[in-house]
A and B are shown apart, each in its own frame.
Chain A
Amino acid sequence: MHRLRLYCLMLALLAASVAKADQAVLIGGGYNINGSQGQIELNVRWVQDVLKRSGLPVVTFFTDGNDPAPDVHFQQIETSSDTDNPIEELSQKLEPVARLFDNHQSNLTRYRDHAVPDVKGSTQSDKLKPALLELLDSAPEDPTLIVYNGHGKQSESTPDKVTMELWNDTQMTASELHSILDNSKAPTRFVFTQCYSGGFHRLAYENPESGLELSSSQRCGFTAESAYRLAEGCSASIDSDDYRDYTTYFFAALSGYDRHGEILPVDTDNNRDGKISLREAHLYTLENAHSTDLSRSTSEDYLNTWQPWYLKWAAGKSGLPNNEYARLFRNLADRHDIVLNENPAKNIRAKIQTYQSTMYDLYEKMHRLDESLKSIKHELMEKATTKWPALVSPYTANFQTMIASGEMLAVAQWLKEEPMYKNLVELQMEEQNSINAMLNAERDITQMQKLLEFRKLAKLKKQLYEYGTSQHIKDYERLVSCEDQPLALTK
Chain B
Amino acid sequence: MRKNLLISLLLGVLIALAAWPVYVFVNVAINYFSGEASVIDLWVQEPKRNLIQSFVEGYKASAIIAVCLGVVAAADYLIFASNRLLGYIAGITVPAFCIGLAFIYHVNPIQVMLGFALTGVLLWVLYKLVDIGFRLRRTA
Tell me the A residues contacting B by CB distance below 8 Å. Answer: 226, 228-229, 294, 309-310, 312-318, 343-349, 449, 452, 455-456, 466-467
Contact = CB atoms under 8 A, between A and B. Distances in A.
A313 B28 contact: yes
10 contacts: A294-B45, A310-B58, A310-B61, A314-B112, A314-B115, A316-B112, A317-B111, A343-B34, A344-B35, A349-B37
Nearest to A460: B38
Given A310-B58, A313-B27, A346 B34 contact: yes
B58 A309 contact: yes
B54 A315 contact: no
Instruction: Choose among A226, A316, A449, A455 the residue with the greatest number of B CB atoms under 10 Å from its CB.
Output: A316
Given A228-B46, A466-B107, 8 more contacts: A228-B45, A228-B47, A309-B61, A313-B23, A315-B31, A349-B35, A452-B38, A455-B36
Interface string B19-58: 0000110111011001111110100011100000010011
Contacts of B23: 313
Q: Please classify the interface of chain A as helix (H, G, I), strand (E, B), loop, or mixed, using the class held by over half of its residues.
A: helix
Task: Assign chain B's interface to a size class.
Answer: 20 to 34
Contact of B46 (A226, A348, A456, A467): A226
A17 to B, nearest CB: 45
Contacts of B111: 316-317
B34 A312 contact: no
A326 to B, nearest CB: 14
Contacts of A229: 45
A228 B51 CA distance: 13
Contacts, number: 70
B35 A345 contact: yes
Contacts of B47: 228
Interface string B45-83: 111000000100110011000000000000000000000
Nearest to A455: B36
Contacts of A466: 107-108
A313 B24 contact: yes
Nearest to B44: A449
Contacts of A312: 39, 54, 58
Contacts of A344: 35
Nearest to B51: A312
Q: Please classify the interface of chain B as helix (H, G, I), strand (E, B), loop, or mixed, using the class held by over half of its residues.
A: helix
B46 A315 contact: no
B115 A315 contact: yes
Interface of B: 23-24, 26-28, 30-31, 34-39, 41, 45-47, 54, 57-58, 61-62, 105-108, 111-112, 114-115
A198 to B, nearest CB: 10
B9 to A, nearest CB: 27
A345 B37 CA distance: 9
Contacts of B41: 449, 452, 456
A315 B33 CA distance: 10
Contacts of A345: 34-37
A20 to B, nearest CB: 39
Nearest to A310: B105
A309 B62 contact: yes
Nearest to B41: A452
Given A345-B34, A466-B108, A313 B39 contact: yes
Contact of B57 (A309, A316, A467): A309
A315 B62 contact: no
A318 B34 contact: yes
Contacts of B54: 309, 312
Nearest to B107: A466
A342 to B, nearest CB: 10
A226 B45 contact: yes
B98 to A, nearest CB: 13
Nearest to B28: A313
A460 to B, nearest CB: 9
Contact of B62 (A310, A317, A343, A467): A310
B114 to A, nearest CB: 7
Contacts of A228: 45-47
A315 B35 contact: no
Given A313-B24, A314-B112, A315-B27, A343 B58 contact: no
A455 B34 CA distance: 13
Contacts of A226: 45-46
B64 to A, nearest CB: 12
A315 B36 contact: yes
A343 B24 contact: no
B59 to A, nearest CB: 9
The 3 A-B pairs of least Cβ separation, nearest first, read A345-B35, A346-B35, A315-B30
Contacts of B106: 314
